Homo-oligomer: A and B are copies of this chain.
Amino acid sequence: MNYEQLFEQIVKKKSFLCIGLDTDIKKIPQHLLKMKDPQFEFNKQIVDTTHHLAIAYKPNLAFYESEGSKGWASFEKTVKYIKENYPEIFVIADAKRGDIGNTSGLYARAFFENLPCDALTVAPYMGKDSVSPFLGYEGKWVILLALTSNEGAQDFQHFDNEEGIRLFEKIFAISQKWAGKDRMMYVVGATRANELTDIRKIVPNHFLLVPGVGAQGGSLEEVAKYGMNDSCGLIVNSSREIIYAGKGEDFAQVSRNVAIEKYQQPMEALLIQHGLL
């Protein structure tokens, strides 16, 4: 999927919502546990009821790996199900991978060749040759960790040099030489919305994947105020607040209602406010 197609989806759906499929076997409704593949069944129902409200889904690999190879199979099944039934949806494997060049190439094989993922989150610490292998796929994206939404982001991401340039700013600056706005996005936590003004000076046109709205305390309005550009330029993720909203057999309908009220409708208003609808 390319940059323009992504923006088209945003306009069509009046939404820039990504739903995080952080599907913890210990948190999903009890009645699903009787089924053969509870993680997949949960995801399928969430996707079937919310696909018209979201432009992207983001399964986080930790939740699947915690169930071992069985969980990996549920992840594979989820990705394939989404792309087969809703090919316009942007599927992000939130895996935060990154290794020396030839090894990153194998991760690329896993997510971009063997599976139809559209994007992969990648950790920047090991530098260019750890990221490049993911950039060689037409229509596939690297989403580089830049400024994350957790407390620990303070530990190293704000480390600054004598000119006051912080590590995360350095990462924006350097990585732009590796690929343009059609292959690269960045993770910027919503809990850092006040940093978005500075970030937009360095990457005015790139899409930003923004976690941390909702359960982690970030504000959708602030993110849009400081981060939205002419192509929206934002994919805002919500996980727990949406997917665990309901506990009963109607859990997916409850999730849909939360997705509409707390995300799609406010997003539509923000897109109108910014002249994009």
Contact = CB atoms under 8 A, between A and B. Distances in A.
Among all A-B residue pairs, the 8 with the closest Cβ atoms: A127-B152, A127-B155, A162-B162, A69-B72, A69-B73, A62-B106, A100-B150, A66-B106
A75 to B, nearest CB: 8
A106 B155 contact: no
A68 B124 contact: no
Contacts of A69: 69-70, 72-73, 75-76
A96 B95 CA distance: 10
A116 interface: no
A42 to B, nearest CB: 15
A24 B102 CA distance: 11
B127 A124 contact: no
Count of this chain's copies in the oligomeric assembly: 2
A33 B22 CA distance: 35
Contacts of A99: 60, 62, 96
Interface stretch (A1-9, A166-174, A194-202, A265-273): A166-174
B76 A98 contact: no
A264 B162 CA distance: 45
Interface residues of A, number: 57
Interface stretch (A107-115, A223-231, A244-252, A255-263): A107-115
Interface of A: 22, 24, 60, 62-63, 65-70, 72-73, 75-76, 96-101, 103-104, 106-107, 109-110, 114-115, 123-131, 145, 148-157, 159-162, 167, 170-171, 174
A157 B123 CA distance: 13
7 contacts: A66-B106, A69-B73, A69-B75, A72-B72, A100-B149, A101-B151, A129-B152
Contact of A96 (B63, B97, B127): B97
Nearest to A70: B69
Contacts of A103: 22, 60, 62-63
